[in-house]
Homo-oligomer: A and B are copies of this chain.
Amino acid sequence: MFDPATLKFDAAGLVPAIAQDHSSGEVLMLAWMNAEAVAKTLDTGRVTYWSRSRQAFWVKGETSGHLQHLVEMRVDCDRDCLLVLVRQEGPACHTGRRSCFYTSVRDGDEVEIMAPE
């Protein structure tokens, strides 16, 4: 039986959660979850983070429509990080790009490798 309370949360009660596209393998974003966000994500199948800036639950895509549907949740060996495999509707990034990791460091310079959709 998986109990979110058994995860190792940081001083703020959070763990980082990496969202990965379940079919392409693309890493989409990293955000944070507290124990209740983990439980909500598992219960609803909609990936739910804890917004550190707003100090509130953040159902990804609730306002934008760019929902993340949970395919599978994984826990790492130290139990202090999660990997969520998702089916992403629309872009994951608030800039309109598929992934938040659209800036690459190449030969010492920053290069944008992905355009808004």
Task: Report yes or no: B106 in contact with A72, Cβ–Cβ below 8 A.
Answer: yes
Chain B proximity mask over A16-38: 1 for CB below 8 Å, otherwise 0: 10101000111101100000000
Instruction: Write out the residue numbers on chain B whose beta carbons fall within 8 Å of the beta carbon of A81.
Output: 30, 100-101
Copies of this chain, count:
2
B2 touches A16 (CB 8 A): no
Are A94 and B77 closer than 8 Å at their CB atoms?
yes
CA distance A47 to B97 in the complex (A): 27
The answer to whether the Cβ of A78 comes within 8 Å of any Cβ in the partner chain is: yes
Nearest chain B CB to A37's CB is how many angstroms away?
14
Residues of B within 8 A of A58 (CB): none
The answer for the CA separation of A42 and B104 in the assembled complex, in Å, is: 12
Q: CA of A100 to CA of B72 in the docked complex: distance in angstroms?
A: 15
CB of B109 within 8 A of CB of A1, answer yes
Residue of B nearest to A73 (CB): B105
Task: Identify which of residues 81-117 in chain A touch chain B, using a CB-to-CB cut-off of 8 Å.
Answer: 81, 83, 93-95, 97, 100-106, 108-110, 113
Across chains A and B, which 8 residue pairs bring their CB atoms closest together, nearest first?
A: A25-B25, A76-B100, A74-B101, A83-B101, A73-B105, A75-B103, A77-B100, A30-B81
